[in-house]
Amino acid sequence: MSKKGNKKETSFILKKGGIALSVKAGGMVTQYLFVFVVARMLGPGALGSFTLSFTVLQLLAIVGLLGLDNLLTRKVAAAKAAERPADIKSAHLTSIKITSITSVILSVLLFISADFIANSIFHKPQMTTHLKVMCFALAPFVFINIHAAAFRGMKNMIGFTFYKAIIPVLNVAFIFIGYYTALNISPTLGYAISCGLVMILYSIAWKKYSHSYEVGVVETTSKKEMVIESLPMMITGSIFFILNWIDNLVIGVYRTEIEVGLYDTAFKIASASAMILMAINAIQGPTFAEYHSKNDI
């Protein structure tokens, strides 16, 4: 690649990475706001219960996604580079259909096994209600990640990261409503409602965004082939999840919810140092996929 090409790519990465960094920074601010509000108004124990329930949700979401979020980013980026809008819509539609089945099945299993997880694994009976509430957030959370992955493949960094900023804000709003009214809105219930609203928002946004490509939706992508191709990505995602969240799970099993809340707060503050790296990685993925589709190494 020429020096001119290198400068162009550097400028593109910095521009898109800067957008991702801005939204990511906003997301971290809203997450800190959520942590502050829950800890001050409801106590670190409530924050710990939410953290453990959210960790279980994320673990199940990895299984529900089957790695299709990462595969969809790759397929959308490749189809965009090849100017095949029909393939973009097909890959997105196929991913939605597959994850609709997996997420509903996992939601039912979480609801049924909530008592066992709370009592036999975490030894915290009060977590049962939180886990049962979180089962209603699982499917929306999976769909949000699918839509976000599609936006990432289109190199739309705002669409990719926006939900991480807006969900904590909505959750804080619901917590305030519950705190100052007779309504009993816990952080987990607020999160479930927020996920439902954001899922609707993302569905509308993607529908309008994809309509800029005047093509019909024809499902040309095989469900079986996509699942076979995405499963290794799910395994990789599972390992990444374990490396990043095993501390919360272990602390949740052996320590109190208050200690989980305190630890998670400290961890979130410390993780701000990795914000720039995460922002650059967000745009690198679809860019690499685009070059790979062109056999440009």
**Rg of the Cα atoms in the chain:** 20
Question: Highest mean pLDDT: which of 11-15, 144-148, 257-261, 265-269?
Answer: 144-148
pLDDT at 216 over 60: no
DSSP per position, 90-117: HHHHHHHHHHHHHHHHHHHHHHHHHHHI
CA distance 79 to 89: 10
Residue 226: predicted pLDDT? 87
Residue 219: predicted pLDDT? 55
Region of 155 on the Ramachandran plot (φ > 0 left; ψ -120 to 50 alpha; else beta): left
pLDDT at 278 over 70: no
Residue 120 DSSP class: I
Task: Give the residue carrying structure tokens 């009993």.
Answer: 184
pLDDT at 283 over 90: no
Closest CA relative to residue 89, chosen from 150, 163, 159 = 150
Question: Highest mean pLDDT: which of 20-24, 187-191, 273-277?
Answer: 187-191
Q: Write the pLDDT tens digit of every residue in 143-198.
A: 999 999 999 888 887 888 888 889 999 999 999 998 888 888 999 999 999 999 99
Least confident interval from 1-10, 135-144, 280-289:
1-10
Residue 95: predicted pLDDT? 93
* Pair of tokens at residue 57: 């949700």
Q: How much is the pTM?
A: 0.81
Q: Write the pLDDT tens digit of every residue in 28-78.
A: 778 788 888 888 888 888 889 999 999 999 999 999 999 999 899 988 988
Q: Name the band, by pLDDT with cuts 50, 70 and 90, for residue 112.
A: very high
User: Are 8 and 142 within 8 A, CB to CB?
Assistant: no
CA distances from 267 to 32, 35, 272, 275 (A): 11, 11, 9, 13
Task: Give the residue carrying structure tokens 């990640």.
Answer: 145
Residue 117: predicted pLDDT? 94
Percent of the chain residues past pLDDT 70, beyond the cut: 81
